[in-house]
């Protein structure tokens, strides 16, 4: 009987974990150079994959190495119909901030890099937020 209870408990835990480990696969055209963490990325068409708290961005043409970063869940307010990538802009410098899942208020945000923190500290106002739609 104990074995049965352990099996049921294991199945319940696996089901709960799968709810939080949703996979997101989208594409986007990012029309400007940007940074994700310490990595500089060129403008272009990107594949974006998110699963289990890790986001991976790589150019569709393979001309630039991909980059990955850990994420934390974040909820958005307002229109949740389309998916989007969100960037913080300081002057001409763009920093990847979050991936918003299509049709959901659930998003995945990355931590600010040291360089972005420095720009934010020196700035007199909040960064401009730039959204790029995903498909």
Q: What does the pLDDT profile of the chain (135 residues) look like in tens digits?
A: 544 444 444 444 444 444 455 788 999 999 999 999 999 999 999 999 999 999 999 999 888 778 999 999 988 776 667 889 999 999 999 999 999 888 888 889 999 999 999 988 988 778 999 999 998
**Looking at the domain assignment, is residue 82 inside a domain?**
yes
* C-alpha radius of gyration, the chain, whole number: 18
**Looking at the domain assignment, is residue 15 inside a domain?**
no
**Looking at the domain assignment, is residue 76 inside a domain?**
yes
CA distance 135 to 129: 20
Enter the pTM of the model: 0.79
**Looking at the domain assignment, is residue 53 inside a domain?**
yes
**Looking at the domain assignment, is residue 64 inside a domain?**
yes
The phi-psi region of residue 7 (left if phi > 0; otherwise alpha if psi is between -120 and 50; otherwise beta) is: alpha
**Looking at the domain assignment, is residue 43 inside a domain?**
yes
The domain of 91 spans 22-133
**Looking at the domain assignment, is residue 4 inside a domain?**
no
Task: Provide the number of structural domains found in the chain.
Answer: 1
**Looking at the domain assignment, is residue 3 inside a domain?**
no
**Per-residue tokens: 44:** 């272009």
Query: What pLDDT was estimated at residue 79?
Result: 66
């Amino acid at each position: 009987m104990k074995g049965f209870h352990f099996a049921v408990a294991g199945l319940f835990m696996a089901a709960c974990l799968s709810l939080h480990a949703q996979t997101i696969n989208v594409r986007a055209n990012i029309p400007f150079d940007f940074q994700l963490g310490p990595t500089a990325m060129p403008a272009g068409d990107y594949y974006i994959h998110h699963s289990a708290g890790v986001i991976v961005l790589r150019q569709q043409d393979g001309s630039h190495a991909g980059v990955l970063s850990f994420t934390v869940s974040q909820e958005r307010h307002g229109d949740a119909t389309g998916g989007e990538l969100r960037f913080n802009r300081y002057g001409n410098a763009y920093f990847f901030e979050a991936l918003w899942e299509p049709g959901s208020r659930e998003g995945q945000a990355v931590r600010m890099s040291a360089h972005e923190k420095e720009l934010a500290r020196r700035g007199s106002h909040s960064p401009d937020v730039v959204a790029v739609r995903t498909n």
